[in-house]
Amino acid sequence: MEVKLTKNAKEFLVFSYFGITEDELKGKDAKDRIAMKCAERAYRDMCRTLTFSEKMDGRTKEEKKNIEKKRKDFRGDICKLIVDNMLGEHSENIIGLFRCDKNDFCSNHEELCKKIRNAANEYPPKGNQKLLKKRNENDSMAFHYGQAQKWLNMTIKYMRMFDCFSKLMNDNDFENELHVPVDAYIITKAKEEFDINITNKPWSRWEIVDYTKFQKDLRKKLSDESPIKWEEKAWIEIAKEERDQENKNEHTYHR
């Protein structure tokens, strides 16, 4: 028996995951709206790796509300930075990641990741106390390149799911230039399938040299296969393995 999702089910899932309705996927400003929702969702994929300067424990209701606003402003401001530099026209202050020639994609991608990293570390720009702090004394900074790539790459991955780049990819073959979002699942799969092992550091603490080597080594192993298409399958395979193992452990525990 084949089970298919109804139109209502798809709309429910999209709204539950991205907070956007089918009507909001249409219209003149649809791409910008979708991009912001994708960047916000990507933040949720990455934010568990953040260490905030101000903790919620022991705070009054008003203090918690103030802290929550600061975090929300941070998310919104960095999401806007990402979207502006992806979709905006290339200028002195805007990278225009998808407005440039595909041959410049990697260098522009690196520049945008640095921009995200620097903005996050200096947030708020005029505040005495920064929003983020180092997780431990051995960290070189509070927000690393590994976190920036996850935020950016997941935004791009989600936008691709909404077919936001169809014209770019058809005309300029951008799809093969897209980077793989690096996380624990992808690191595991790359090691299992291709024996790629860059560093023992968690992805959230990766720096440019770790990330760049991983992307290059993976691309070499994949040969003619699109890295982003490989990632889509690889991530689900590892996620399913982990789910099945958890189910097996739970079944064993309850016997």
DSSP for 52-102 reads: BSS--TT--HHHHHHHHHHHHHHHHHHHHHHHHHHHSPP-SS---TTTS-G
Quote the pTM value: 0.92
252 has a pLDDT exceeding 70: no
104 has a pLDDT exceeding 90: no
User: In angstroms, what CA-CA distances link 208 with 85, 113, 161, 204?
Assistant: 19, 9, 26, 12
DSSP 143: S
pLDDT grade for 208, boundaries at 50, 70 and 90: very high
219 has a pLDDT exceeding 60: yes
What CA–CA distance (Å, rounded) separates 188 from 226? Answer: 19
pLDDT grade for 97, boundaries at 50, 70 and 90: confident
Q: What's the pLDDT tens digit per position in 35-82?
A: 999 999 999 999 999 999 999 999 999 999 999 999 999 999 999 999
Q: Which pLDDT score, from 0 to 100, does residue 163 have?
A: 82
State the Cα angle at 18 between 187 and 7, rounded to 5°: 110
Q: Which pLDDT score, from 0 to 100, does residue 209 have?
A: 97
Q: Which pLDDT score, from 0 to 100, does residue 224 have?
A: 82
Q: Which pLDDT score, from 0 to 100, does residue 3 have?
A: 82
pLDDT grade for 137, boundaries at 50, 70 and 90: confident
